[in-house]
Amino acid sequence: MGINSILDLVVIFTKAALVTLEVALASIAIALVIGLVCAIVLYFGVPVLKTLIRVYVVFFRNTPSLIQAYFIFYGLPKIFMVLDSFTCSVIVLSLLGGAYMCEAIFAAVKAISTNQKELALAIGLSKLDTVRYLILPQSISISIAAINNNAIFLTKEVSAMKLILLPEIVYQAFSIISLRPDLIIPVALFMVLSYLVILIPMTYAFSRVERRIRYAEFGN
């Protein structure tokens, strides 16, 4: 890796930051879908699925993501197929994030009063409509802060994917330092800077979304 100027570092870290951002955004989106679906299944209490989801959530919340990544990156090829590190990272983080999102959203679902659920019954609303018009919009606005937290957590968790060779920020930083130990200080600075460049706008955008959703749902 020939690094002759600051500009080379800028190029490397811009690319790495883009990889981090892509993996993060894809995982956040998929994790949200997984979380929503799981929370709804838990709400309906679907017999076998309910238990499967419980097991899934316990498993993914209580093991480090890097072990999950190892299993999927090195284990999956033995039984299924070889996946590139990008796909693998998205799978791992989506499953990890899905477990967290499920917990956050289901907690919000439980927070909606039984009075409201009875009311929905009393006006003849079907179970599906109850979920669509009452449970989902309210649980999302109740859990939006937790969802945002999970999203930021997932973005930082992309760094663990360096172990399955995803060319993200930390992976690149470590590779450079291993070849050019003299660059440790500028590289460390770039590494931190890359995260801030991604996460500060992201948290700002999330807080905007948070405010807008809460306003739309409750008028405050």
Q: Nearer Cβ to other proteins, position 62 or 220?
A: 220
Do 76 and 157 meet the contact criterion of CB atoms below 8 Å apart? no
Radius of gyration of the chain (CA): 21
Closest distance to other proteins from the beta carbon of 136 (Å):
10
Do 147 and 105 meet the contact criterion of CB atoms below 8 Å apart? yes
As a whole number of angstroms, the distance between CA 151 and CA 14 comes to: 21
The upper half-sphere exposure of residue 119, i.e. CA atoms within 13 Å in the direction of its Cβ, equals: 8
Q: Nearer Cβ to other proteins, position 51 or 116?
A: 116
Work out the number of other CB atoms within 10 angstroms of the CB of residue 182.
9
Closest distance to other proteins from the beta carbon of 105 (Å):
15
Q: Nearer Cβ to other proteins, position 2 or 219?
A: 219
Closest distance to other proteins from the beta carbon of 217 (Å):
4
132 is written with which tokens? 């669509």
Closest distance to other proteins from the beta carbon of 32 (Å):
19
User: Where do contacts with other proteins occur on this chain (CB under 8 A)?
Assistant: 113, 115-116, 118-119, 121-126, 129, 133-134, 137-138, 141, 217-220
As a whole number of angstroms, the distance between CA 165 and CA 51 comes to: 34
Closest distance to other proteins from the beta carbon of 38 (Å):
22
Q: Nearer Cβ to other proteins, position 31 or 40?
A: 40
123 is written with which tokens? 């006006």
As a whole number of angstroms, the distance between CA 118 and CA 87 comes to: 44
Q: Nearer Cβ to other proteins, position 124 or 181?
A: 124
Q: Quick one: how far is CA 172 from the chain centroid?
A: 22
Closest distance to other proteins from the beta carbon of 199 (Å):
30
Q: Nearer Cβ to other proteins, position 55 or 216?
A: 216
CA dihedral 73, 75, 78, 79 (to 10 degrees): -110
State phi, psi for 147 to the nearest 5 degrees. -60, -45
